[in-house]
Structure 1
Amino acid sequence: MARIGVISFSDGRDYVHDGIREFIATTEDKLVDRLTAAGHEVVRGKEIVATNTGASAVARQVAAAGVDLTVFHYAVWAFPHFTMLAAGATPGPLLLLSNIDPVQPGMVGMLAGGGALDQIGREHTRLWGDPDERALIDKIGVQATASAAVAALRGSTFGRIGGRPMGMNTAVANTDQWQSVFGVDVEEIDQWEIVRRSELADQKEVTRAREWLETNAAGVHYDGKKLTPELLERQIRSYLAMRELIDEWNLDFSGIKGQPEMTQYFATMDIVEAFLNDPYDWNGPKETHVCATEADMDGALTMQLLKHIARTPVLFADVRHYHADRDIWDLCNSGQHATWYAARSDDPLENLGKVHFYPEVFFFPAGGASVHHLAAPGQMTLARLTRRGGNYRMHLMLGDFETYDDETNTQLMRQSTFEWPHAFARLDAKADDFLSRFGANHIHAVPGDRRAEVRAACELLGVELDEFTRG
C-alpha cells in the first residue's frame, strides 16, 4: 500500500478556529483510521493549519516523511492562502478532500483552495464524501497507489542488455524522453557480459537449480539436441549472470535483446526472463525483477509501472493470434511469461507443476529450454505504453484469461507455437478496433481491474490515455 500524508486546514480567525478545532480533529481521526484500516501508512500533520506559518511548516514536515500523496483535508471553511502556502511546500501529488457536512462548509473551503491552485496551474485531484464510505477510501487509495507507482519510477535505472532486436523500432525509446517524462535512466550493457559471466557461475548452484527444475516441473523434455542438461545449465548460468549484473549496476528493471545473437549462437534467454519476473527461484522467495524480452524498452516500462500498481508479477506477450470463431486472442511469446501465471499461486510448486520445459523450436538454433504453460483464468488489466508522433500514450483495456478442456487447450495452442507459454484472452475490445489502433506487437497484463490506478498514473505523468472498450 501507499504512504499518505494528511493535513487539515482551518479558519484563520483565532476565535473561529478555537470553536471548530475539536470537530476538525475528530473528522481527521476518522479519516486516518479508515485509511490505516485499508492498509495505508498515514503521516499526519503535526497540527491543524490555522496560520500562514503553520501552513508551510506542517507541509514541510509531512513532505519530509516521503509521502506518496498528500491529502489536503477540509472539514470546515479554511482560508485559501493556507492551501497555497502548503502546496508550495509540497513537492508531490496533491488530493483535496472535503466533507459533506451541511453545517460546516468544508466543500466551500476545498473549492476556494482548489480554484486558487487552478489559477497558478498546480495540478491536483479533488474528492468529497464521508470517510465511513468505503468507496471514498478506495478512491483515495487509487490516487495514492498511482502516485507511489509514478514516484517509484523516478530515479530508477533500466538495464538495456543489447541493442535493437531484429529492426524492432517499437522496442527502442528515446533516453532523453524517458528521463524527462518518467525520470528513468538507462544503462547500456552488452550481451557479452551474460556470456562472459555465465562461465564463472558456481557449478554447485547451477546443478542444484537444474535438479530443482527436473524435480518440480511438470516435465523437462530433453531431446539430446536442442535441449540437454548442459544447455539447460547454460540458461541457468545466464540467469545467475543477470542477477550479478542487476546487483552490480543497481538495475531496477531490464530487458535482454536475445535475438539473433544469443538465440543463434549461445542459448535462448527464456529461463532467465521467466524467473527474473517470478517471485521465487530455486533459492526461495525473492523480489520480482521486471525483464522484457527483445530489450523492449517501452514494454519493460509498462511492466514496471504495472508492477508498482498491482504488486504482482507482470505478463509479457506477443499478440500472436486472434481466434475469430471464439473471439479470443492467443497471447504467446517465447519464454517470457513468469511461471507464476501458470496457477498464480503463492506456492511455487503448484505453479511449476503446470510448467513444461520443451526443446526450443527452429527459430532458435542455439537451443535451450522453452518455458511452456497456459495462464490460469481470471480477470486481467492489459496495458501498453506506445508513442504516436513522438508522444506517449497508454493503451488500456480490461479482459479475461480463459482455459478450456485439455483437448481444446492443446488444439488451440498447437495452432501457433505449442512449446511457448500461452494466455487465451477475451478482451474488452473489438478486434477490428484493436488491430487498427494498437501500437505495438507486445502487450502486458496484471490480475484484476487496475484501470483506475493506471488512469491516475497517466494523469500524473501527462501521458495520453487510449482506452479500448466494446462500446
Structure 2
Amino acid sequence: MARIGLLSISDGRDYVQRDVREHVTRAAQELAAMLVEAGHEVVTAPEHVESNVLATSQARHLADQHVDLTIFHHSVWTFPHFTMLAAEATPGPILMVANIDPQFPGMVGMLAGGGALDQIGRVHARAWGDLHDPATRSRILSQVRAGAAVQGLRGSTFGRIGGRPMGMYTATANTDQWMKTFGVDVEEIDQWEIVRRAENADASLVKQGRLWLEQHSAGVHYDGDRLTPELLERQIRSYYAMKELIAEWNLDFSGIKGQPELTANFCTMDIAEAFLNDPYDWEGPKQTHVTATEADMDGALTMQLLKLLTGDPVLFADVRHYHQDKDVWDLCNSGQHATWYAARSDDPLENLGKVNFLPEVFYFPAGGASVQHLAAPGDLTFARLTRADGAYRMHVMRGSFETYGAETDERMMRASTWEWPHAFARLQAPAEEFLTRFGSNHIHAVPGDHVADLRAVCDQLGIRYDGFGDAA
C-alpha cells in the first residue's frame, strides 16, 4: 500500500476559480476514490492551489505527511508557476495527472507545468485520460507502486554479514553511492556473530524446526556424514542467529557471505537463507526478510525493490546453465530459492511437500542440508541492478518457469548440480543478447508482469532502465 498526497492545482484568476472550483473538487474526489479502491491511502491537501502562496503551503502540508508520492492533479487549466512552486516544496516523487476534456483543459496545464519542470531538470511522471479507462488507471497505479517502493527503500538498513565473497566485484557496492542514490545504509557485521549466537538458540525451537522439516517435507535425506540431525539443527540455529541479528540491528534486508569460511568450517546458510526469504517457517506465518547469498549487495537491493513492489517472496539464483535445445535457462544456486517457489501456494505444507533436504555437495565440506526443489511453472518478471562505468542501471525482462515431466526434469537438473534448487526459465530475450549484455551471474524474479512498475522505479531513482527482449 502506498501513502499518496493529492494536490489539486487550479487557475490563478479568482473569477475563473468560482466557476471551476466544484469541478476541481469532484475530479479530485473521483481520483482519490479510484486510488483507495486500489488499496492505497490518500492524503488530500486541504485547499486547492489557486495562488503562489497556496502552491507552497499546500505542498508543504503534504510533505509533512511523509507521503510516498505526490500527485499534482490538473483537471482544469493551471498556472504553470504553481506547479513549479509546489514541486520546490515537494521532496519525493511527483506524478502529474490530467484529464482530457475540451471544456476543462487540464492536459494543457499538465503540459505547461511539466515542460517547466523539464527545463529545471526536475524528474516527474505524467498520466492522462479518463479514470475509467484501464490504460489510464494502469499508468497511474504503476507510478504509485513505484513511489511506495522507492520511498520504502529510503532510510532502510542493509545487513552485510561478512565481506566480498570469492572475489566477486558484482556482489559489492559503494556505500556512499547507495546512500546517495537509494537512501540505504549498510551495517557491516562479521560472520562470527552467526557462529557465536547459533550456540544460544532455543533448543526447543530448534528441535521443533527439525521435526517439522522431517515430517512435512518430501524428505530429509540423512547420510551420516554431510547431513546429520546435528548438522541440520546447526543450520536451524544459524537461522535463529540471523533473526536475532536482524532484530538487534534493525535490519530491513540482508546478505550472508557464507563462502568459504562458513561453508568450509561451520555449515551452509541454505536453511537460513531459504526460510528468511519465505513467508512462513515452523512457527507459522511471518514477514519475508530479503536475504541474498554471497552477501550480494546489488542482488539484495534488487530483491528488496521487487519485494516492496509486489509483496511476494523474491527469487535469487545463479544463471547456471543454458539448455540450448529448449532455449531454456537453468537458474540454480545453493539453497537460496525460498521454498515458496516450489508450488507458490498459500499453504506452506503444499510447498514443503515438494522440497527435499539433501546432503551438501563437495563445494561445501562443512556440510548441512541443501534445500532442493524445482520452481513451479508460471509467468514472471526478471530483474537485476548492475553498474556500467560506475552508474546504476536495471536489467529487466519477462519470462516464465516451465517443467517438462518428472523424467525430463530430473535429467535437466542432473546436468548441473542436482542437489540444489532449480528453476527452468524461458526468457523473452535471445540468448545472444542476454549473454552479451547481462551484467551479473545472479538474477532475480517475482511472479507477474511488473515491467511498467520497474520503468517507473528507474525514473524515480534517476537510473537507467535497461530492458531485454520484449521489455526493451
TM bracket, shorter-chain basis: over 0.9
- Deviation, 1:89, is 1.4
Instruction: Map 1:80-99; keep pairs closer than 5 Å.
Output: 80-99=80-99
State the secondary structure of the residue aligned to 1:6.
strand
Report how far residue 116 of structure 1 moved.
2.1
Q: Where do 5+ consecutive residues of structure 2 fail to align?
A: none
Aligned to 2:220: 220
CA contact 1:2–1:141 (8 Å) conserved in 2: no
Identity among equivalent pairs (%): 69
The code of the aligned residue for 2:212 comes to W
**1:185 counterpart SS class:** strand
Aligned to 1:411: 411
Q: CA separation in 1, counterparts of 2:224 and 2:467? A: 47
Q: Supply the distance in 1 between the matched residues of 2:12 and 2:173 (Cα, whole angstroms).
A: 50
Shift of 1:29: 1.5
| Aligned positions of 1:280-429 closer than 5 A | 280-429=280-429
> In the TM superposition, what whole-angstrom CA distance separates every residue of 1:272-312 from its partner, at most 9, and x where no partner exists?
00000001111111111111111111111111111111111
1:118 Cα deviation (Å)?
2.1
Query: Are 1:467 and 2:448 matched, yes or no?
Result: no
Q: How does 1:62-461 map to 2 (within 5 A)?
A: 62-461=62-461
Q: What is the rounded CA distance, in whole Å, between the counterparts of 2:105 and 2:177 in structure 1?
A: 44
Letter in 2 for 1:90: T
Structure 1 counterpart SS, 2:298: helix
Structure 1 residue 171: deviation in Å?
Answer: 1.0
Residue 23 (structure 1) aligns with: 23
**Is 1:50 aligned to 2:50, yes or no?**
yes
132-141 or 394-403: bigger deviation: 132-141
**TM-superposed deviation, 1:23:** 1.2
User: Matches of 1:386 and 1:121 in 2, distance apart?
Assistant: 24
Distance in 1 (alpha carbons) for counterparts of 2:62 and 2:137: 20
Give the drift of 1:240: 0.2
Rounded Cα–Cα distance in structure 2 between residues aligned with 1:386 and 1:188 = 21
Contact 1:374 1:421 in 2 (8 A): yes
Deviation at 1:16, TM superposition (A): 1.3
Q: Tell me the SS of whatever aligns to 1:345.
A: coil
The question of 1:10 aligning with 2:10 is answered yes
Between 1:367-376 and 1:456-465, the stretch displaced more is 456-465
1:98–1:129 contact (8 Å) kept in structure 2: yes
TM-score by length of 1: 0.98
Q: Distance in 1 between matches of 2:304 and 2:208?
A: 30
Give, in whole Å, the separation in 1 of the partners of 2:368 and 2:157: 29
Stretches (4+) displaced over 6 A:
none
- What does the per-residue CA deviation read over 1:333-392, in whole Å, with 9 as the maximum and x for residues that have no partner? 000000000011111111101111001111111110000000011111111111121111
Say if 2:197 and 2:241, in contact at 8 Å, map to a contact too: yes
The Cα of 1:394 is off from its aligned counterpart by: 1.1
The Cα shift of 1:444 comes to: 0.5
Aligned equivalents of 2:170, 2:120: Cα separation in 1 = 37
Quote how far apart the aligned CAs of 1:463 are. 1.4
Q: Deviations over 1:144-187 (max 9, x none)?
A: 11111111111111111111111112111111111111111111
Structure 1 distance, partners of 2:402, 2:173, is 33
Backbone CA RMSD of aligned residues = 1.2
Shift of the alpha carbon at 1:111? Answer: 1.6
For 1:406 and 1:72, locate their aligned partners in 2 and report how far apart those are by CA, in whole Å. 54
Q: TM-score of the superposition, structure 2-length normalised?
A: 0.98
Q: Deviations over 1:58-95 (max 9, x none)?
A: 11222222211111111111222221221121111111
- The answer as to whether partners of 1:330 and 1:424 remain within 8 angstroms in 2 is yes
| Secondary structure of residue in 1 paired with 2:329 | strand
Structure 2 CA distance for aligned equivalents of residues 141 and 2 of structure 1: 10
**TM-aligned CA deviation for residue 119 of structure 1:** 2.4
Q: Distance in 2 between matches of 1:466 and 1:20?
A: 43
Contact 1:165 1:257 in 2 (8 A): yes
* Structure 1 CA distance for aligned equivalents of residues 49 and 465 of structure 2: 36
Q: For residues 413 and 271 of structure 2, what CA distance do their matches in structure 1 show?
A: 20
> What SS does the corresponding residue of 1:70 show, helix, strand or coil?
strand
Aligned partner of residue 325 in structure 1, secondary structure: coil
